[in-house]
Amino acid sequence: MSTFNRSKSINQRTLGVGTPRTASFGSPRVKLASVSQWFRWLFVIGALFPFSIAIAGGYFYLLPSLTQAFQGFGTSKFNDSMDECNFFDGNWVFDERYPLYNASECPFAEQGFNCVGNGRRDEDYLRWRWKPKRCDIPRFDVHDILGRLRNKRVVFVGDSMSRTQWESLICLLMTGVEDKNSVYEVNNHNITKRIRFLSVRFNSFNFTVEFFRSVFLVQHVWMPRHVPRRVRSTLKLDKLDDISNQWVNSDILIFNTGHWWVPEKLFETGCYFQVANTVRLGMPIPIAFRMALDTWASWVEKMIDTNRTHVFFRSYEPSHWSEQSHRLCNVTNLPISEVGGKDGNVFSDTILEVVKNLTVPITVLNVTSMSAFRSDAHVGKWNGNPSIPDCSHWCLPGVPDMWNEILLSYLLSQS
Ligand SMILES: *[C@@H]1O[C@H](CO)[C@@H](O)[C@H](O)[C@H]1NC(C)=O
Ligand SMILES: *[C@@H]1O[C@H](CO)[C@@H](O)[C@H](O)[C@H]1NC(C)=O
Ligand SMILES: *[C@@H]1O[C@H](CO)[C@@H](O)[C@H](O)[C@H]1NC(C)=O
Ligand SMILES: *[C@@H]1O[C@H](CO)[C@@H](O)[C@H](O)[C@H]1NC(C)=O
Ligand SMILES: *[C@@H]1O[C@H](CO)[C@@H](O)[C@H](O)[C@H]1NC(C)=O
Ligand SMILES: *[C@@H]1O[C@H](CO)[C@@H](O)[C@H](O)[C@H]1NC(C)=O
Ligand SMILES: *[C@@H]1O[C@H](CO)[C@@H](O)[C@H](O)[C@H]1NC(C)=O
Ligand SMILES: *[C@@H]1O[C@H](CO)[C@@H](O)[C@H](O)[C@H]1NC(C)=O
């Protein structure tokens, strides 16, 4: 459980989520020195001393601790095919029937993820299908799925990785809708990086696919009073995000978090942890992460009717940055053939432990390992801003489609 195979060539990094990596920000990026992991942890532990590293942009380390993968957990009501087949243990096979849609024809694929639209010419990366060892993921049948989603509410909660999966699901489903105008964002909002809520309604089928941006899942409060001057905001570890009441009464609810739990996103921006009325300046990130997840877990137990709602937690989505530089990456033409090495870590152990302890069933989408093969599938320089490559986010169509096909296969096994 506590080991995960990962390629040496994968330099796990965090996302520039909501930061101007792909936006047209002109600010020069400060290249971080290669601080070793242990130093980094010393920093975290010694968080009483404010960080002096100025971070101008979205270049952040990922604590490799978050890179572990998880296996799905069986549920009782939902006939979980996990019993017979581990969806996440398999390999990528070439399949000419892919891709399943054209991002240029899907109004909900954001420009930054439309690699073909942004000039990517090699096409093999569009044609890989994930093949679990002991079974097949049911072939995507859009009309069947549209029918099953009728009158339902699908809710994604998390960071930009959740937004990508949200976009992918909408694009997949739109291929089965004749009248494209019958699919619309309910508030007429455009997709932006910082928007907190997006809901796309499939009017003919009376269902919505929604996205809530909540990068920490717990409450983020600006300008708390009576705190040391360096504290500009706090994360209330014992309170779930204030928009969380809108996540209940959904039928399918998919969470992720992790990429923002790094010093660069927290302490270095003046964000510290808070429990009840006390700011905990020295609290290490892993402890805080655990508290936040415990808060999430009790919220799920208290607020979610799991007879109605199937809850998923998606594991960490790996990135493929260059070993040499923290701002360079070359997207490959082919997936890498092997992910090796071991990476024990505290954060993913935490997620697993917390999920296992829940009294209600949660399915963990263990996408880490399957995605780690796909060094060919990141947006790279085809993100609309070639000078700032991005090897965290994925092209659409692409890898997030396969996460959705797995998600939908749980839906199929329900009935
Ligand atoms: C996630 O899936 C990979 C690939 O099958 C596997 O090696 C790993 O052990 C899984 N993680 C967990 C925590 O089950
Ligand atoms: C669950 O799936 C198995 C194997 O596909 C099947 O034999 C069984 O009848 C299913 N159980 C229910 C309750 O649907
Ligand atoms: C995708 O759609 C665009 C816009 O309609 C079109 O120009 C392009 O040829 C399509 N690509 C493929 C591979 O069909
Ligand atoms: C649409 O779905 C909602 C549940 O999400 C349901 O209450 C309502 O009756 C449905 N409307 C129609 C016209 O079927
Ligand atoms: C959304 O984007 C379109 C095209 O870029 C623009 O015309 C429209 O005004 C935008 N809508 C909103 C609500 O910002
Ligand atoms: C969920 O279903 C079970 C079995 O059908 C039932 O005993 C339980 O009361 C239900 N829970 C809720 C919250 O409705
Ligand atoms: C990426 O490819 C270019 C051109 O082949 C090469 O000059 C550059 O060093 C490569 N960068 C990395 C990070 O591998
Ligand atoms: C899980 O439950 C066991 C026994 O109730 C407890 O000792 C342990 O601390 C719990 N772990 C988590 C992560 O809540």
* Measured distance CA(335)–CA(342) in Å, rounded: 20
Most confident of 31-35, 51-55, 120-124, 410-414: 120-124
Q: Which residue has the higher pLDDT, 191 or 345?
A: 191
In a domain, 162, yes or no: yes
Q: Is 160 a catalytic residue?
A: yes
In a domain, 25, yes or no: no
List, as own/partner pairs, every contact residues 235-240 make where C-beta atoms lie below 8 angstroms and the sequence separation is at least 24, other chains included. 235/266, 235/271, 235/272, 235/273, 235/274, 235/288, 235/292, 236/274, 236/275, 237/273, 237/274, 237/275, 237/288, 237/291, 237/292, 237/295, 238/275, 238/276, 238/291, 238/295, 239/295, 240/295, 240/296, 240/299
Q: 165 alpha carbon to ligand 2 midpoint, in Å?
A: 28
In a domain, 347, yes or no: yes
- Write out the residue range of the structural domain in which residue 111 sits: 37-412
How far is Cα of residue 161 from the mean position of the Cα atoms in its chain?
Answer: 3
Q: Tell me: pLDDT of 20 over 80.
A: no
Whether 307 is in the pocket of ligand 6, judged by its Cβ within 6 Å, is yes
Q: What is the pLDDT of residue 414?
A: 73
Identify each DSSP E strand in 88-243 by its residue range: 90-94, 128-132, 153-158, 183-185, 197-202, 207-213, 218-222, 233-240
Q: 357 alpha carbon to ligand 8 midpoint, in Å?
A: 6
Q: Which residue has the higher pLDDT, 366 or 63?
A: 366
Q: What is the pLDDT of residue 346?
A: 62
Q: What percent of the chain has pLDDT over 70?
A: 77
For residues 393 and 112, is the Cβ–Cβ distance under 8 A?
yes
Q: 322 alpha carbon to ligand 7 midpoint, in Å?
A: 9
Whether 188 is in the pocket of ligand 6, judged by its Cβ within 6 Å, is no
Mean pLDDT of 115-137: 95
Question: Confidence band (pLDDT; 50, 70, 90) for 353?
Answer: confident
Quickly tell me which residue has 């002109």 as its tokens: 26
Q: What is the pLDDT of residue 83?
A: 57
Mean pLDDT of 123-133: 96
Instruction: Return the biggest CA–CA distance within the chain.
Output: 61
Q: What is the pLDDT of residue 349?
A: 72
Q: Tell me: pLDDT of 246 over 70.
A: yes
- Report the predicted TM-score, pTM, of the whole model to 2 decimal places: 0.81
Q: What is the pLDDT of residue 409?
A: 93
Indicate which ligand has the atom closest to the C-alpha of 82: 2
Q: Tell me: pLDDT of 280 over 90.
A: yes
Question: Confidence band (pLDDT; 50, 70, 90) for 113?
Answer: very high
Question: Confidence band (pLDDT; 50, 70, 90) for 324?
Answer: confident
Q: Which residue has the higher pLDDT, 338 or 277?
A: 277
Lowest mean pLDDT among 61-65, 180-184, 218-222: 61-65
Q: Which residue has the higher pLDDT, 320 or 17?
A: 320
Q: 351 alpha carbon to ligand 8 midpoint, in Å?
A: 12
In a domain, 250, yes or no: yes
Domain of 106, CATH number, reads: 3.40.50.1110
**In the structure encoding, which two tokens stand for residue 118, read together?**
């942004």
Ligand 8 proximal residues by C-beta, below 6 Å: 353-354, 357
In a domain, 258, yes or no: yes
Q: What is the pLDDT of residue 49?
A: 36
In a domain, 139, yes or no: yes
pLDDT in tens, 285-317: 999 999 999 999 999 999 999 999 999 999 888
Q: Tell me: pLDDT of 198 over 90.
A: yes
Whether 102 is in the pocket of ligand 3, judged by its Cβ within 6 Å, is yes
* β-pairing verdict for 233-240 and 271-275: parallel
Catalytic residue (choose from 80, 343, 390, 401): 390
Q: What is the pLDDT of residue 259?
A: 86
Q: What percent of the chain has pLDDT over 90?
A: 63
As a residue count, the chain comes to: 415
Q: Tell me: pLDDT of 63 over 90.
A: no
Question: Confidence band (pLDDT; 50, 70, 90) for 85?
Answer: confident
Alpha helices in 33-109 (DSSP H): 37-45
Domain count, the chain: 1
Q: What is the pLDDT of residue 55?
A: 30
In a domain, 54, yes or no: yes
Indicate which ligand has the atom closest to the C-alpha of 127: 3
Q: How far is CA 39 from CA 13, 34, 265, 281, in A?
A: 16, 10, 17, 18
Ligand 4 pocket test: pick from 149, 150, 151 the residue with the most ligand atoms within 8 Å of its Cβ: 151
Q: Tell me: pLDDT of 25 over 90.
A: no
pLDDT in tens, 26-62: 223 322 333 334 334 444 433 333 333 333 233 233 3
In a domain, 88, yes or no: yes
pLDDT in tens, 204-242: 999 999 999 999 999 999 988 888 999 999 999 999 999
Whether 359 is in the pocket of ligand 5, judged by its Cβ within 6 Å, is no
